[in-house]
């Protein structure tokens, strides 16, 4: 990894908003999922949440994996997803046309916020609507009453970005250094990262110009075969037990 790439990654990670996220409920078309996640990366969202019913399951990990800079958490149920988000102190919004809905620009996105976007054809489920804290709408003057989910997500998220920029929230680092180190290694050294995962070797530290800061023993482990590493681990355990 060059020093220039290191600085570029560091700059992006410094702006990550860990208390702003989206939850995709049964959004299953590949181009929609990828477009939403690209928008999340563009405005600095660190993690997205997903819920898929069995009938909508398809290549979920593949679609998310195309966006290497945004983490994904998949939940078994919407209740689990919203419960986890509320435990983090987030206000949960859902895009839904109702008598109590407010325009998406009327919401305070400087608060910890999660936004639910529902399935392409049917929108958010009754469960999502019941569990959310607030329904939001995107005002429209035409004949249609809905937008493509990726377009709707982009509009809402860029309003959130606008408010947060005005509040100076992009000038404060939110992402823990431990997570920054993981991403620096994973995205700065993809081949070594894959090898590290295959062999079960812990990630090394990355120094302040983007170089791997690891002792000779780490490099030696990386050169060993998985079988040799396993044998070495077994031997260390045996020595520890005898001691």
Annotated binding residues: 95, 138, 147
Count CB-CB contacts under 10 A for residue 179: 16
Q: What is the pLDDT of residue 67?
A: 65
Q: What is the pLDDT along the chain (243 residues), one digit of tens a residue?
A: 888 999 999 999 999 999 999 999 988 788 888 889 999 999 999 999 999 876 555 444 444 444 688 998 999 899 999 999 999 999 999 998 888 889 999 999 999 999 999 877 777 788 989 999 999 988 877 766 677 888 999 999 999 999 999 999 999 999 999 999 999 999 999 999 999 998 889 999 999 999 999 999 999 888 887 665 555 554 444 333 344
User: What's the angle, vertex CA 210, arms to CA 7 and CA 197, rounded to 5?
Assistant: 120
47-51/102-103 β-pairing = unpaired
Q: Which domains are delineated in the chain?
A: 17-171 (3.40.1280.10), 177-242 (no CATH)
**Token pair recorded at residue 196:** 């590290």
Beta bridge partners of 95: 136
> Is the separation of the CB atoms in 205 and 181 below 8 Å?
yes
Count CB-CB contacts under 10 A for residue 237: 10
Annotated binding residues for S-adenosyl-L-methionine: 95, 138, 147
Q: What is the pLDDT of residue 59?
A: 46
Question: What is the full DSSP assignment across 60-119?
Answer: HHHHHHTSTTSEEEEESSHHHHHHHHHHTT-EEEEE---TT-EEGGGS-TTS-EEEEE-B
Q: How far, in whole angstroms, is CA 37 from its chain's centroid?
A: 8
Q: What is the pLDDT of residues 111-162, one digit of tens each?
A: 999 999 987 777 778 898 999 999 998 887 776 667 788 899 999 999 999 9
Q: What is the pLDDT of residue 229?
A: 59
User: What's the angle, vertex CA 25, arms to CA 23 and CA 29, rounded to 5?
Assistant: 110
> Is the separation of the CB atoms in 114 and 78 below 8 Å?
no
Cα separation, 39 vs 30, in Å, equals 14
Give this prediction's pTM. 0.83
Q: What is the pLDDT of residue 121?
A: 76
């Amino acid at each position: 990894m060059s020093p220039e790439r290191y600085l570029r990654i560091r700059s992006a990670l410094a702006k990550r908003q860990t208390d702003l996220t989206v939850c995709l409920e049964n959004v299953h078309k590949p181009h929609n999922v990828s477009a939403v996640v690209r928008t999340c990366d563009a405005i600095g969202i660190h993690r997205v949440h997903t819920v898929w019913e069995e009938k909508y399951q398809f290549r979920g990990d593949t679609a998310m994996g195309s966006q290497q800079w945004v983490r994904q958490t998949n939940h078994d149920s919407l209740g689990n997803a919203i419960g986890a988000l509320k435990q983090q102190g987030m206000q949960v919004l859902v895009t839904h046309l109702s008598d109590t809905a407010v325009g998406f620009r009327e919401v305070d996105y400087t608060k910890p916020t999660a936004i639910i976007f529902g399935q392409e054809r049917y929108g958010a489920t009754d469960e999502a609507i019941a569990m959310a804290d607030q329904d939001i709408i995107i005002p429209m003057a035409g004949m249609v009453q809905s937008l493509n989910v990726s377009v709707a997500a982009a509009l809402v998220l860029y309003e959130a970005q606008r408010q947060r920029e005005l509040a100076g929230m992009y000038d404060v680092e939110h992402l823990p250094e431990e997570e920054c180190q993981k991403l620096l290694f994973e995205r700065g050294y993809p081949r070594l990262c894959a090898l590290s995962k295959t062999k079960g070797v812990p990630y090394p530290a990355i120094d302040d110009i983007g170089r791997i800061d690891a002792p000779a023993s780490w490099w030696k482990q990386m050169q060993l075969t998985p079988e040799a590493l396993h044998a070495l681990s077994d031997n260390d355990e045996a020595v520890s037990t005898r001691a």
